[in-house]
C-alpha cells in the first residue's frame, strides 16, 4: 500500500509541528508534485528532520524545484534523496 499525494499532505502537516523525527523514508509511495510541494512547505518550518528519502516516486520538475526552495530556510536537512523520480531537469538549486 502506498500513501500517494494525499498521504504526503497529511505527513507534511505533521512535520510542521514535529520535534523528534529525524529520518523519514518515503521511497516507492507514488508521491507526485503535489505531495512534494506540501512536504517542501513543511520543510520550511521543520527544524528536526535531517534525512528525507523520496526515491522511486513520481516527483517531477515542479515538485523537485519546490523541495529545493525549502533549503532557503531549512538548514537542518542534510540528505534529500530524489533518485528514480520523473524529473527532467539536470540541475537543482540548493
Which grid coordinates are listed for 87? 524529473
**pLDDT recorded at residue 66:** 96
pLDDT above 80 for 92 = no
- How many DSSP H helices and E strands does the chain contain? 3, 3
pTM: 0.92
Angle at 84 between CA 42 and CA 57, to 5 degrees: 45
Q: Is the dihedral of CA 34, 35, 36, 42 positive or negative?
A: positive
pLDDT value for 91: 59
Domains detected in the chain: 4-81 (3.80.10.10)
62 DSSP assignment: H
Spacing of C-alpha 51 from chain mean position: 10
Amino acid at each position: 500500500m502506498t500513501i500517494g499525494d494525499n498521504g504526503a499532505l497529511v505527513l507534511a502537516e505533521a512535520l510542521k509541528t514535529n520535534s523528534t523525527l529525524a529520518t523519514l523514508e518515503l521511497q516507492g509511495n507514488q508521491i507526485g508534485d503535489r505531495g512534494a510541494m506540501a512536504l517542501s512547505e513543511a520543510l520550511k518550518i521543520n527544524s528536526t528532520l535531517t534525512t528525507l528519502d523520496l526515491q522511486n516516486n513520481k516527483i517531477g520538475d515542479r515538485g523537485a524545484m519546490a523541495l529545493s526552495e525549502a533549503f532557503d530556510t531549512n538548514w537542518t536537512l542534510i540528505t534529500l534523496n530524489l533518485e528514480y523520480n520523473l524529473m527532467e531537469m539536470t540541475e537543482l538549486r540548493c
